[in-house]
Amino acid sequence: MAAGACRNRDFHAFFQAFAGSSAVRAIYTATSIRFGEVGKSRVITRKQYQEQKHFPLATIDNYLVTSESAMLFNMEGQDPSALRYTQVEINQSDDSRVRVDWLPGIFETHLTPPPEDLQEGPGDLVQETGSGGYLLFRPASQCWEMIEDINNPPLQF
């Protein structure tokens, strides 16, 4: 799926494959990556990044959720209440780098009752539940590679 998305220059399809597979991330993560909180990030190797399982997102039924909640979902008998859905915004710069901003939150599907006109999926973001962050990709060898995984500072309540 990732290779086909690369051939078609389809970043959205590429990102779904990237978020859903550690094997794809191993191929399309730069040899060194900037990781950490805004203003406190550091450069680590791809191997360190992968071994420490830093990637913040996962896919469940084609929806992006936090990696932590996906692990809980899988450990707790696939209880959907464990999932923390994320809002994702993808932007491409003039130099073809692509930034993926992500933010966990409460969505319309979590409301009791959910809106009557809500179709499939989580719906719109109602409230942030975490600080999120961003992932930065650059063009490389007929595709993209992730070069940064930066977390926003924690929310202040």
For the chain, the structural domain boundaries read 2-151
Query: Residue 50: in which H helix or E strand, if any?
Result: helix 46-51
Q: What number of residues does the chain have?
A: 157
What is the CATH number assigned to the segment(s) 2-151? 3.10.450.50
User: What's the mean per-residue pLDDT of the chain?
Assistant: 92
> Would you state the pLDDT for residue 39?
94
Contact 143, 28 (CB under 8 A): yes
Question: CB neighbours of 54 closer than 8 A, spacing ≥ 6?
Answer: 35, 149
How many beta carbons lie within 10 A of that of residue 125, not counting itself? 16
Query: Residue 83: in which H helix or E strand, if any?
Result: none
Return the SS3 of 79: coil
> Would you state the pLDDT for residue 157?
62
How many beta carbons lie within 10 A of that of residue 83, not counting itself? 21
d(CA 102, CA 135): 8
DSSP 110-135: GSSSPPTT--SS--SEEEE-S--EEE
Phi-psi region of 85 (alpha: psi -120 to 50; beta: other; left: phi over 0): beta
pLDDT under 50 in the chain at which residues?
Answer: none
